[in-house]
Amino acid sequence: MPETHAQIRRWHLYPTAEDLVAHAAAAIGRIAAEAIARRGDFHFVLAGGSTPIAIYARLRDLDCDWSAWHIYIGDERCVGPEHPERNSRMAEEAWLRHVPIPAGQIHPIRGELGPARAAADYAALLASVPRFDLVTLGLGEDGHTASLFPDHPWGVEADAPATLAVTDSPKPPPERVSLSARALSQAPQVFFYVAGAAKRDAVARWRRGEGIPAGAIRPANGVDIWVDEAAWG
């Protein structure tokens, strides 16, 4: 559980964001193929924001059994389905509408319901999910991940709910839904994508062991952080 052990971090440093994208997309493809070979399906939690867009675009070219993929999202902004700030719309445009994953296996958070109802709705869905094989996350300039922000609840406790309703996010839009740190920590593999000089300060704080939200994601196998040189500093 997140509060009972330290975060194990494996940093993967790439010269450019393009290198990071190529290696991260290939790793996702490998993990998917292994999960499908082992159990017949692949349960994948997506990061939102702008950093993963190029990775998602790469995934369009994967040669794989798309019928075995099940897609979730780690956080959502409470705006309409077609709003430009909607994380699920970003993933749809960059990747999902270009591949034949069955529509019933793509599970957006219904941010249009507002934070409380959307969080409850998604928690009910997650209760029936057998497992996550891979969770992917980003890192905000203030150290946030998913929609877990500094000085806000992160849901690290063993009995924390799977989802949190956020009503006062410091980054717009203020209303959001996030998977809790506890839920995001329940995967054998957790990747963070971190690119660009704007993330340098957050990376430095994380490396120093400061208490940023990204540090609250503590899966038993540790986390893999894919970082470009601009963010590494």
Ligand X SMILES: O=C1O[C@H](COP(=O)(O)O)[C@@H](O)[C@H](O)[C@H]1O
- Is residue 50 within the footprint of ligand X (CB under 6 A)? yes
Site string for ligand X, 71-100 (x = CB under 6 A): ----x-----------x-------------
Cβ proximity to ligand X: between 19 and 85 the closer is 85
Q: How far is the CB of 161 from ligand X (least distance, A)?
A: 19
Q: How far is the CB of 39 from ligand X (least distance, A)?
A: 27
- Is residue 51 within the footprint of ligand X (CB under 6 A)? yes
**Cα–Cα distance for residue pair 151/89, rounded to 1 Å:** 28
Q: Which amino acid is at 198?
A: A
The strand pair at 75-77 and 134-138 is best described as unpaired
Listing DSSP states for 105-146 in one string gives: GB----GGG-HHHHHHHHHHHHTT----SEEEEE--TTS-BT
Alpha helices in 40-86 (DSSP H): 53-59
Query: In angstroms, how far is the first alpha carbon of the chain from the final one?
Result: 31
Q: How far is the CB of 132 from ligand X (least distance, A)?
A: 16
- Is residue 49 within the footprint of ligand X (CB under 6 A)? yes
**Cα–Cα distance for residue pair 164/162, rounded to 1 Å:** 7
Per CB under 6 A, contacts with ligand X among 119-158 are: 137-138, 140, 145-147
Options 1-9, 49-57, 97-105, 112-120: segment touching ligand X (CB under 6 A):
49-57
Q: How far is the CB of 210 from ligand X (least distance, A)?
A: 18
Residue count of the chain: 233
Cβ proximity to ligand X: between 75 and 133 the closer is 75
Cβ proximity to ligand X: between 51 and 186 the closer is 51
Cβ proximity to ligand X: between 145 and 186 the closer is 145
Strand ranges inside the chain, DSSP E? 9-14, 42-46, 69-73, 75-77, 134-138, 163-166, 176-179, 189-194, 223-228
- Is residue 163 within the footprint of ligand X (CB under 6 A)? no
Q: Pull the structure tokens for residue 36.
A: 């499908």
Given the rule CB under 6 A, which residues bind ligand X?
47-51, 75, 87, 137-138, 140, 145-147, 171
